[in-house]
A = this chain, B = another copy of it.
Amino acid sequence: MEAQYDVAKNCLFSKTRTVSRYITNLYTDGLKEVGLTPVQYSMLTAIQVLEEANINGLASALKMDRTTINRNLKPLVRDGLVFINESIDRRERLISITKEGIELYQKGYASWQKAQSDFKDILGEEKRDEMTKLLDEVIAVIGKK
């Protein structure tokens, strides 16, 4: 088979990326009413669960590059949803959610639930569960690396 048809049919990167873009847009639409992106929402999630994590800790928990965490924190700090404290170890900075952040997060929870529910309606509960299971397995495997 010629290369371009092989890639067009079988590329796991582009398939995954296409699905990722679509789901991102779905959640973006839902969370728009509270003015948060889905990435910001997932970061606020980790910030609350971890409590006073540093940037490397957040990067590890979210499986994102630490420089991406650094950059993505800026709008959250700017909008008063997150604050950053000094640490005894003066190299690191400790990230926490603010009162306003918690309030907005709670407000966004309904939007997030609706996006989850919409996706279930679109895909069907069975396929949705299959997908969740598979994604967890993939994340577990890549987490070992």
Q: How many residues of A contact B (CB 8 A)?
A: 58
Q: How many copies does the complex hold?
A: 2
Given A15-B136, A16-B19, A138-B127 in contact, is the A116-B10 Cβ separation under 8 Å? yes
Q: Which of B3, B13, B138 contacts A115 (CB 8 A)?
A: B13
A15: B residues at CB distance < 8 A: 132, 135-136, 139
A12: B residues at CB distance < 8 A: 23, 116, 119, 128, 131-132, 135
Please report A residues at the B interface, Cβ cutoff 8 Å.
Answer: 3-8, 10-24, 26-27, 38-39, 41-42, 44-46, 48-49, 62-64, 105-106, 109, 112, 115-116, 119, 122-123, 127-128, 130-132, 134-139, 141-142, 145
